[in-house]
């Protein structure tokens, strides 16, 4: 990637990233609808959520070490195979609860292996001086998939008010097959780097523990987790805010769309921002701006000011998240970047599980207002931790 950072190989990986997120964001809610349509209680949605999250959480670090040993192509192929398997199980046994749960487990594993492979590939192949631009365009691709996937839920279904499960599944199967073909085409990054080719890899747990002791790794993991968890909280509690303030449904839609578009815009301009102002400054200011934007939702203001707050939050949080990838890349030895990417996923999943549980009690005390105020305050911590970020690509 020395002569140009947007190479054919990176272009294939970006298409792969779009498909991974599109299939995940289409099939997961479709499975949730299917569980409810079978007459099962909403408690089973929690079981499905755990089935999606827990196996990847347990296998993330071993998957990162596998990537370091065998290259990125192997987890990409494994992930695509799980996506194909998930859709096939959903099509064949989607009329039974057990089939839907198994499909969810396979979907979670598909996301894990695909994302570990993608991120490790980008972490190793992004050229110095272009890290932020490459991670910006990579996260733009993932955001695009996350916006495209739910569009399948709007397909008409004459037989029910729920989305057409089988049509969505067949669309996802086609995307998964393309994903598998791309995984076979994407080559692993070179393993033979001077000083690394002949050195044996450490065992998994000692390597993970050593990385945690590297200066800047823990702040990067916590910053990434706080920002990503704030997005989950915003998506979960904006409907409650709309209900409490009697906002029309179109206002909620406008807030969500504005956040998504602002995030995508920020990721396209990431390289220019960091070249002009420096990575550390962009991270610190982005953390503070996202805190202000999210906390402003707690204020009793007009809907158009809420829209402005969501745009500010989307721009700032969308900037911070890919920069934590650059940050982890620069503080992680090249040969360990598979396990570094997996540790970042573990931190994100842990935050996405624990932080929403922590703020759930606050919602009982003060509703959505207290939740957004507290979550905004947590983003000030992410801005403070960003002082440990490297400011250049050396």
Tens digits of per-residue pLDDT, 350-371?
A: 877 777 777 767 777 778 888 8
Q: How far apart are CA 367 and CA 135, in angstroms?
A: 36
Q: How far apart are CA 140 and CA 153, in angstroms?
A: 22
Which one of 127, 152, 187 terminates a domain?
187
In this structure, the answer to whether residues 234 and 368 fall within a common structural domain is: yes
pLDDT tier for residue 284 given thresholds of 50, 70 and 90: very high
Q: What is the pLDDT of residue 97?
A: 94
Note whether residue 244 is domain-resident: yes
In this structure, the answer to whether residues 152 and 27 fall within a common structural domain is: yes
Asked if the model's pLDDT at residue 312 lies above 70, the reply is yes
In this structure, the answer to whether residues 58 and 112 fall within a common structural domain is: yes
pLDDT tier for residue 74 given thresholds of 50, 70 and 90: very high
Q: What is the pLDDT of residues 119-132, one digit of tens each?
A: 889 888 777 667 78
In this structure, the answer to whether residues 150 and 228 fall within a common structural domain is: no
Note whether residue 198 is domain-resident: no
Q: What is the pLDDT of residue 370?
A: 87
More confident residue, 224 or 239: 224
Asked if the model's pLDDT at residue 304 lies above 70, the reply is yes
**Looking at residue 239, which CATH number applies to its domain?**
1.20.1250.20
Query: What range defines the domain where residue 46 resides?
Result: 8-187
Note whether residue 205 is domain-resident: no
Note whether residue 393 is domain-resident: no
In this structure, the answer to whether residues 171 and 243 fall within a common structural domain is: no
In this structure, the answer to whether residues 30 and 159 fall within a common structural domain is: yes
For residue 361, the Cα-to-chain-centroid distance in whole angstroms is 25
In this structure, the answer to whether residues 141 and 217 fall within a common structural domain is: no
In this structure, the answer to whether residues 260 and 159 fall within a common structural domain is: no
If one counts every other C-beta atom within 10 angstroms of the C-beta of residue 216, the result is: 16
Do 298 and 369 touch, CB atoms closer than 8 A? yes
Q: How far apart are CA 163 and CA 222, in angstroms?
A: 37
Asked if the model's pLDDT at residue 274 lies above 70, the reply is yes
Q: What is the pTM of this model?
A: 0.80
pLDDT tier for residue 107 given thresholds of 50, 70 and 90: very high
Q: What is the pLDDT of residue 181?
A: 97
Note whether residue 196 is domain-resident: no
Which residues have a Cβ under 8 Å from the Cβ of 204 and sit 6 or more positions away? 61, 62, 65, 339
More confident residue, 154 or 111: 111
In this structure, the answer to whether residues 182 and 223 fall within a common structural domain is: no
In this structure, the answer to whether residues 133 and 217 fall within a common structural domain is: no
Q: What is the pLDDT of residue 210?
A: 79
In this structure, the answer to whether residues 264 and 171 fall within a common structural domain is: no
In this structure, the answer to whether residues 61 and 132 fall within a common structural domain is: yes
The count of domains in the chain is: 2
């Amino acid at each position: 990637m020395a002569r140009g950072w947007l190479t054919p190989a990176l272009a294939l990986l970006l298409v792969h990233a779009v498909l991974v997120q599109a299939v995940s964001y289409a099939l997961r809610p479709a499975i949730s609808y299917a569980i409810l349509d079978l007459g099962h209680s909403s408690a089973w949605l929690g079981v499905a959520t755990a089935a999606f999250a827990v196996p990847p959480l347990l296998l993330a670090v071993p998957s990162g070490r596998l990537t370091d040993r065998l290259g990125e192509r192997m987890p990409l192929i494994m992930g695509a195979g799980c996506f194909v398997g998930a859709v096939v199980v959903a099509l064949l046994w989607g009329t039974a609860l057990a089939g839907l749960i198994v499909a969810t487990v396979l979907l979670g594993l598909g996301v894990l292996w695909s994302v570990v492979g993608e991120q490790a590939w980008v972490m190793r192949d992004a050229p110095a001086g272009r890290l932020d631009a490459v991670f910006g365009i990579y996260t733009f691709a993932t955001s695009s998939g996350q916006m495209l996937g739910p569009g399948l839920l709007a397909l008409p279904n004459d037989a029910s008010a729920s989305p057409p499960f089988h049509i969505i599944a067949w669309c996802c199967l086609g995307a998964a097959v393309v994903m598998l073909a791309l995984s076979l085409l994407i080559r692993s990054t070179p393993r033979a780097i001077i000083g690394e080719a002949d050195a044996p890899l450490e065992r998994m747990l000692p390597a993970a523990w050593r990385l945690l002791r590297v200066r800047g790794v823990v702040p990067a993991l916590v910053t990434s987790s706080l920002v990503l968890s704030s997005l989950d909280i915003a998506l979960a509690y904006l409907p409650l805010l709309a209900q409490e303030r009697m906002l029309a449904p179109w206002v909620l839609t406008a807030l969500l769309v504005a956040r998504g578009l602002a995030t995508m815009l920020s990721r396209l301009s990431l390289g220019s921002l960091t070249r002009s102002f420096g990575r550390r400054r962009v991270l610190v200011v982005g953390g503070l701006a996202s805190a202000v934007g999210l906390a402003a939702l707690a204020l009793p203001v007009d809907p158009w000011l809420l829209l402005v707050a969501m745009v500010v939050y989307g721009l700032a949080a969308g900037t911070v998240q890919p920069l934590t990838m650059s940050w982890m890349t620069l503080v992680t030895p090249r040969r360990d970047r598979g396990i570094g990417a997996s540790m970042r996923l573990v931190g994100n999943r842990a935050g996405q599980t624990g932080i929403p549980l922590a703020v759930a009690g606050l919602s009982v005390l003060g509703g959505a207002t207290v939740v957004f105020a507290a979550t905004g305050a947590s983003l000030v911590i992410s801005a403070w931790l960003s002082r440990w970020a490297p400011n250049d690509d050396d």
